[in-house]
Structure 1
Amino acid sequence: MNFADYCIWLKAAHVAAALLFVGGVVATSLTLALLPTMPGDSAPFVTGMRRYDRWVTVPAIIVVWLFGTGLAVSGAWFGQGWLSAKLGFVVLLSGLHGVQSGRLRRIEAGASPAMSRSLPFVLFAAIAIAVLAVAKP
């Protein structure tokens, strides 16, 4: 396998992990937005969401960062404006994921859920990341 083939597979794995990561952040955003309106005991739902986060979203974010860094190094993209902007959005989404994980953990421990309005930002950031990665303006 030559270097170009290696980069294609690295990019494919990076994109697949990014889809899983953004999907997990969107699912958690929806959970946190709808949880205050759910009737009855929502503890099993929160426990399931936390399990999904630990087993799918967290490994996906690790792969996104590792493979994204590998792609940036192999493409010599560090210092380019589009990558800096993309990294800004990725850092913000990563931080939001941390906040969401903490909120789910506190809710599972008995804290009352508060309304979350993060979904529009998550969608905007995901679109911006995709546009920056493909167009490289």
Structure 2
Amino acid sequence: MSLATLYPWLKALHVVSAFLFVAGILTTSMVLAAERANPGSAAPVAGLLAKSERWLTTPAMLLVWAFGLTLAVTAGWFSSTWLQVKLAFVVLLSAVHGLQSGQLRRLVRKKALKPLPTLPLILVSLLAVVVLAVVKL
């Protein structure tokens, strides 16, 4: 099987992984925001969300990176400005995921959370990533 025939499958797996990753970080962002607004409100779901982070969101993030880098190498896009800008936003989203994971661990351990309003950052980054990937400016 050639890379040309694998390309649509790699792209589909990349999109599905990205969907799961973004769903995870958006969910975590909203749960953490609810906890900051009303301490103790997210405690019942914190443990379940922490497991979801470990077994779904983090593997999805790793798969997004693996499939995305494979696509970029296959298509020879690393010299493209749109990909370099997109990668900066993806690094930012990955960093947000790391920060949120730390906040979630603090919540599970019943420690105080620091203010971390990530939802606007996630939404702006997501918008940029999708536009750059589709339009390839």
Shorter-chain TM band: over 0.9
Runs of 4+ aligned structure 1 residues displaced above 6 Å come to none
- What residue number does 1:28 align with? 28
Q: Against the structure 1 CA distance between its residues 75 and 107, is the aligned structure 2 distance closer, same or farther, given a 3 Å change threshold?
A: same
Equivalent position of 1:18 in the other structure:
18
Q: Secondary structure at the match of 2:116?
A: coil
Task: Tell me, yes or no, if structure 1 residue 111 matches structure 2 residue 81.
Answer: no
Question: What residue is the counterpart of 1:76 in the other structure?
Answer: 76
Number of equivalences? 137
Does the 8 A contact of 2:32 with 2:42 survive in 1? no
**Partner AA of 1:105 in structure 2:** R
CA RMSD of superposed structures (Å): 1.5
Q: Structure 2 length as normaliser, TM-score?
A: 0.93
Structure 2: stretches of 5+ with no match in the other structure: none
Identity %: 45
- Please report how far the alpha carbon of residue 39 of structure 1 lies from its aligned counterpart in structure 2 after TM superposition: 6.5
CA distance in 2, matches of 1:58, 1:49: 12
- Greater Cα offset, 20-29 or 37-46: 37-46
Counterpart CA distance in 2 for 1:94 and 1:7 is 24
TM-score (norm 1): 0.93
Once the 2 structures are TM-superposed, how far is the Cα of residue 54 of structure 1 from its aligned partner?
A: 0.8
Q: Is the 8 A contact 1:34 1:115 kept in 2?
A: no
For CA contacts below 8 A with separation 6 or more, give which structure has more relative contact order. 1
- The 1-side partners of 2:42 and 2:9 are apart by 40
- Once the two structures are superposed, residues 72-130 of structure 1 have per-residue CA deviations (whole angstroms, 9 ceiling, x without a partner) of 00000012100000000000000010000011111211212344311011011011101
Q: Counterpart of 2:86 in structure 1: which amino acid?
A: K
Which secondary structure state, in structure 2, belongs to the residue aligned with residue 113 of structure 1? coil
2:15 corresponds to 1:4: no
Cα distance in 2 between the residues matched to 1:86 and 1:45: 32
- CA deviation digits over 1:47-88, x for unaligned, max 9? 111111111101100100001010000000012100000000
Q: Name stretches of at least 5 consecutive residues in structure 1 with no aligned partner.
A: none
